[in-house]
Amino acid sequence: METTSVIQNPQMKQKLSEEEDIDGNSKSLGNLPEELLRHIISFLPTTDAVRTSLLCKRWEYLWASIPNLDFHLLQHSPAEEKRRGMLFMNFVDRVLCLRDFSDIKRFTLCCNVQLDASRVNTWFSAALRHNVQELYVELANFKGEFSLPYRLFTCNTLTSLHLTMRHIKLKLPTTICFSNLKILTIENVIFPHEYLTQQLFSGLPVLEELKLKDCSWGGRVFLSISLPKLRSLSIFEVLMPDVDYWNYFDDVGEVMILGDSLKEFYYRGNLYCDYCLDKSFSLEKAEINAYAVEETLDQDAYFAYRLLIGLSSVKFLKLNGAVLENIKYAAEVPAHMPMFNNLMDLLLVDSSVDLDWETLLNILQVSPCLENLEFLGGISLSANYEEDDWILDPVPLCFLSHLKCIKVGRYHGSKKELFALKILLKNSLVLEEIVITCRDYFGWYIEEQDHFEWNQEKQENLYKHLIELPRGSQNCKIVLK
């Protein structure tokens, strides 16, 4: 609502009605067809679009049919909040009351529910009466459960819904069916009822993209997300600040993820739930950033392992180092990973990875078609780095036939890092390129004293060391950045 109007002074009205043309032809903005004028003002923020009604009689209600309505109440000091809130509510009421019968394409509402919950729901109902297609809702500052209009959950015109409720308990109706909804994002929501939450995930027959961000299941749950058209699923978790931390460990649940069309899966969190993916998926891309908690390390590690099993068909896999490091603590984990027959790109991020980690070696052994291997957080070895003959024994099949590119980031120049590179170069028979991004230790605490700052001379010395190392592929190009 607090935007700078394009109409800066009274002369603007005069200029818009003046008939001026350098060719001598009489033209004015006011002579344009109404459809074109509506199209022009549809690019303005809603507040500015409404202000065009002041220009002249013809413009008075052109804004009443713009396809997109965006209402944002900015944060103010407590002294101004009440007055600003009243102005905001009156403005939204006026815009919706004076709107014509045309449909709304996108309706955005970001405000505090404490202003007046009943009026907030009235605004949603008005948008639904105008066959809204895209609904973006961000609500805050409401205690207890909040009930959105039940009609919303059976709306057959909605194709995209973004719902952010800042840890408000979402009250769901018993009947839920979004017959045309293709994109759903739910953020900062507490699901208080397992049965109704299951109803929500069962009422999305054509959904293609689902994002659950910083939500809470409200305790132990056993859910099934079975969506036949779903192509992309994102689950991003953080610890809720207003929920007892230790309750998560007592309320571990299970979420089954089913469907024939899923191509992309993204996860970030502490694995408070056991997420199980159907092995029949033909996934193309997956990114997992899972962080174990010391008090539940065995459980979290086992959940991470089960999640990894569900990704066995993936082509592109991005993992953080903590996943690889912690899986070894899982109880009852079989000695071998499932086959990753389709995996072509493996990216390891977030922290330095030891090449001799058991989980990493297992994944390499069962990824025969791997072409690209990236250690974006750096690479090293354990303390026994001089005894390296066993690390790639037997040599993974991908090193012999498919691995073409290796990238190493945050290279500092320690002996452990150099030995890790030596192992990779020696065993990669078809490698075409190894790219190393150098980084100094400025400002870092260092245990070893065999590093150096990356000036031009030091980079040249590193290059000479690498060139002298035995290489399985004589065609391999070494690139330093």
- pLDDT digits 0-9 by tens, 263-295: 999 999 888 788 888 877 788 999 999 887 766
pLDDT for 168 equals 74
pLDDT for 388 equals 64
Which residue numbers in the chain have pLDDT < 50? 1-26, 240-250, 441-452
pLDDT for 50 equals 77
pLDDT for 232 equals 96
pLDDT for 345 equals 98
pLDDT for 476 equals 92
- pLDDT digits 0-9 by tens, 407-462: 999 988 788 898 899 999 999 999 999 999 887 544 333 344 444 455 667 777 77
pLDDT for 259 equals 80
Tokens of 134: 């895209």
pLDDT for 318 equals 97
pLDDT for 384 equals 66
